[in-house]
């Protein structure tokens, strides 16, 4: 008596074994660093954490003469420079951190896979600096410290919009030869796509609504929406400075993306 061979049926659990989050190691490291810094701050005595805040957060009043404001900020001349970056490593609350991490994972991951770690970090740093500069210009002399990675993440969002809508089906692909690594359209041609225009318009509207009106404040804190704009414009307008992909030829190989076509 023989037993028939068992047919090779598809495994219904095969797809379930795929990882839910397939993040690059650099993204995991970035999330871990931001989280570790916030954990350490939560363990510090209030006075020590206050020193950390005014040494590494961005404070527009720092750039006014000490004799005019009657006090000096910790960190001295060095902090006048490094706070343009270090403020992005601090967060005001766990909710603030969680929201920023979620946006960074969503928009920063495809940019990281396209740019590579070094270019991604450079973009984020330049966007953070631009965000601090924009806040300084619009809030000169204010004592309220600015913290959070939002400007850097806004830069990542601005960069993502330059290529995400060209190949939306593969934006999260881990294949190094995926379509989202192909050359991006020039900015003028990218704006022929109504989805790009809509995303940029909605982004500015939401940031203004939640920032200028204080609708998204965390407790007594307000949203530094001008810093977000500085970061976003860095990623949107400065995309070519960081993108490793070659510019496309001005021919039919990259047709305009009107209405998603």
Residue 3 has pLDDT above 90, yes or no: no
- CA 1, CA 154: separation in Å to the nearest integer? 70
- Position 66 scores a pLDDT of 61
Residue 2 has pLDDT above 60, yes or no: no
Confidence of residue 194 (pLDDT cuts 50, 70, 90): very high
- Position 17 scores a pLDDT of 46
In a domain, 178, yes or no: yes
- In this structure, the number of other CB atoms found within 10 A of the CB of residue 129 comes to 21
The mean predicted confidence, pLDDT, of the chain is: 82
Cβ atoms 229, 154 nearer than 8 A: yes
pTM to 2 decimal places = 0.80
- CA 177, CA 179: separation in Å to the nearest integer? 7
Confidence of residue 246 (pLDDT cuts 50, 70, 90): low
In a domain, 12, yes or no: no
CATH code, 163: 1.20.1540.10
- Position 253 scores a pLDDT of 46
In a domain, 93, yes or no: yes
- Domain span at residue 33 reads 24-260
Q: Tell whether the torsion through CA atoms of 210, 227, 186 and 175 is positive or negative.
A: negative
- Position 5 scores a pLDDT of 53
In a domain, 230, yes or no: yes
In a domain, 95, yes or no: yes
Question: What is the count of structural domains for the chain?
Answer: 1
Cβ atoms 155, 143 nearer than 8 A: no
| Top-confidence range, 9-18, 117-126, 242-251 | 117-126
Please compute the mean of the pLDDT values over residues 248-260 and round it to a whole number.
44
Please give the distance of CA 141 from its chain centroid, rounded to a whole number. Answer: 26
In a domain, 2, yes or no: no
- CA 87, CA 82: separation in Å to the nearest integer? 9
In a domain, 8, yes or no: no
């Amino acid at each position: 008596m023989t037993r028939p061979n068992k047919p090779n049926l598809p495994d219904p659990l095969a797809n379930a074994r795929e990882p839910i989050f397939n993040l690059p190691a650099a993204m995991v490291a970035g999330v871990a660093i931001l989280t570790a810094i916030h954990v350490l701050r939560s363990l510090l005595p209030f006075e020590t954490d206050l020193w950390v805040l005014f040494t590494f957060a961005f404070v527009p009043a720092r750039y006014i003469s000490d004799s005019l404001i009657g006090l000096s900020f910790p960190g001295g001349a060095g902090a006048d420079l490094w706070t343009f970056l270090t403020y992005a490593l601090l967060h005001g609350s766990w909710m603030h951190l969680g929201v920023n991490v979620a946006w960074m994972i969503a928009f920063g991951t495809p940019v990281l896979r396209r740019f590579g770690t070094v270019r991604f970090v450079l973009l984020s740093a330049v966007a953070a600096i631009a965000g601090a500069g924009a806040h300084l210009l619009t809030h000169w002399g204010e004592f309220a410290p600015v913290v959070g990675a939002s400007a850097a993440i806004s830069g990542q969002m601005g960069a993502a919009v330059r290529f995400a809508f060209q190949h939306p089906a593969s934006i999260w692909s881990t294949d190094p030869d995926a379509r989202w690594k192909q050359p991006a359209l020039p900015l003028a041609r990218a704006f022929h796509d109504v989805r790009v225009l809509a995303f940029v318009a909605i982004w500015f509207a939401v940031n203004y609504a939640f920032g200028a009106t204080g609708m998204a404040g965390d407790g007594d804190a307000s949203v530094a929406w001008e810093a977000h704009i500085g970061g976003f414009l860095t990623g949107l307008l400065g995309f070519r400075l960081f993108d490793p992909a070659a510019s496309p030829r001005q021919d039919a190989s990259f047709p305009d993306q009107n209405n998603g076509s």
